Amino acid sequence: MFIRPSTLADKAAIGEMAFACYSATLAKHYAADVLKLALPHLSHVPDGLVQCGTYFVAVEGDVIVGACGWTDGPRGAEVRKLAVHPDHLRKGIARGLLAHVHASANDAGHERMSCAASLNAVPFYRALGYTATGWVTIDTGHADAPFDAATMALDLQALHPSYCAA
């Protein structure tokens, strides 16, 4: 597996992989009627994100098996659209992508990361050192599809002191 910046040519493959990921992993934590409405929004990756230079794909052979990135947000650097194909879960791909994201954000001058973690992802982020800071309802474009998530944050220096060394 290798990690590289995403390109617009990756957009369809990322969307399909994310849809498969979220369909498989979110079903235990969200109602089926909510997921039916929310999944198209959650798995959509905007052109600007795919082309921003801080969104990355994990590739095995010629297949995109995971994706994740970061953008500047109101709380600093924010993790965006982490997904791993369900056939490739529990192989360290998400951890590898997030390590890449953390290093990229740090290289850009950020000392803190934040994310909106789906209910199933909270233990994963917590294991990486993120702490819960609150709750948010993600806008899915459907009033009938409230998608609750935990807001979480990570001090990059606490994760790896050399990240933020002067």
CA–CA dist 85, 64 (Å, integer): 8
Per-residue pLDDT tens digits for 78-130? 999 999 999 999 999 999 999 999 999 999 999 999 999 999 999 999 999 99
Largest CA distance in the chain: 50
Per-residue pLDDT tens digits for 98-108? 999 999 999 99
Whole-model pTM over 0.85: yes
- Strand, helix or coil for residue 121: helix
- Strand, helix or coil for residue 96: helix
Percent of the chain exceeding pLDDT 90 equals 87
**Spacing of C-alpha 117 from chain mean position:** 8
Single-letter residue type at 104 = S
Q: Note the pLDDT of residue 163.
A: 46
- Token pair listed for 152: 């979480």
CA–CA dist 112, 75 (Å, integer): 9
Q: Note the pLDDT of residue 166.
A: 40
Q: Note the pLDDT of residue 160.
A: 58
CA–CA–CA angle 123, 128, 97 (5° rounding): 105
CA–CA dist 159, 166 (Å, integer): 16
Of the chain, the end-to-end C-alpha distance in Å amounts to 32
- Token pair listed for 103: 């290093």
Architecture per CATH, 2-164: 3-Layer(aba) Sandwich (3.40)
Q: Under 8 Å CB-to-CB from 72, ≥6 apart: which residues?
A: 78
